[in-house]
């Protein structure tokens, strides 16, 4: 796993080495597979934070990890095996495997799906969105405007009352950066 960690270490501007162990272990446990390779697909400050840029680089690719650094230097994200799509009107997609999850790097917590329903949302006008009501939702360009949402919804942490909504009293915040990586398994 160290080679994979080094590969991500050279590419991610958000996650540190110790946090990678926590996230990689969760991904391997959920998927019941070992990680073979990690490929960086997208970085908002380089590729452009608009949804069209996200979809041009990430659509139809399965097993993606989204990392976000928000105002206040909060760091969190999500993983899903479900490929992203550019749906015209927005479609909620269930995760039959329940392998999707969101996480807080700062709090070192993994938030699992409460049920297979509404794991992610596909919408051409949004970037990656996890959970109905958006546990994590990127609408528009979160680098330029307050269009990053965190709200308790479809994911929870062992019965905690809150998930990522505990980050900020406001529902909409600005992102300083977000990245998307693809995981390829043996």
DSSP letters spanning 95-158: -TT---EEEETTTTEEEEESSSTT-EEE-TTEEEEETTTTSEEEES-TTTSS-EEE-SSSEEST
Q: What percent of the chain has pLDDT over 70?
A: 83
> What pLDDT, on the 0 to 100 scale, is given for residue 152?
64
Please give the full DSSP string across 44-113, using - where no structure is assigned.
HHHH-SSHHHHHHHHBT--SEEEEEEEGGG-EEEEEESSPB---SS-EEE--TT---EEEETTTTEEEEE
Closest Cα to residue 106, out of 30, 164, 58? 164
> What pLDDT, on the 0 to 100 scale, is given for residue 169?
46
What does residue 178 show for φ and ψ, rounded to 5 degrees?
Answer: -150, 145
pLDDT digits (tens, 9 = 90+) for 26-85: 999 999 999 999 999 999 999 999 999 999 999 999 999 999 998 888 899 999 999 999
pLDDT digits (tens, 9 = 90+) for 105-163: 988 888 888 888 889 999 999 999 998 777 888 988 999 988 887 766 656 655 565 55
């Amino acid at each position: 796993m160290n080679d994979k960690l080094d590969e991500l270490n050279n590419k991610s501007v958000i996650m540190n080495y110790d946090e990678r162990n926590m996230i990689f272990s969760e991904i391997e446990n959920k998927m019941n597979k070992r990680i073979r390779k990690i490929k960086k697909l997208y970085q908002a400050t380089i590729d452009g934070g608009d949804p069209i840029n996200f979809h041009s680089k990430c659509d139809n690719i399965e097993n993606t990890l989204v990392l976000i650094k928000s105002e206040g230097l909060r760091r969190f994200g999500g993983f899903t095996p479900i490929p992203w799509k550019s749906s015209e009107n927005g479609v909620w997609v269930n995760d039959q495997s329940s392998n999707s999850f969101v996480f807080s790097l700062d709090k070192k917590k993994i938030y699992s799906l409460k049920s297979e329903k509404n794991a992610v949302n596909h919408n051409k006008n949004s970037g990656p969105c996890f959970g109905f009501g958006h546990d994590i939702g990127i609408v528009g360009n979160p680098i330029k405007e307050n269009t990053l949402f965190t709200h308790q919804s479809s994911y929870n942490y062992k019965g905690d009352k809150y998930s990522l909504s505990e980050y900020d009293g406001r529902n909409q915040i600005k992102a300083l950066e977000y990245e998307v990586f693809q995981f390829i398994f043996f």
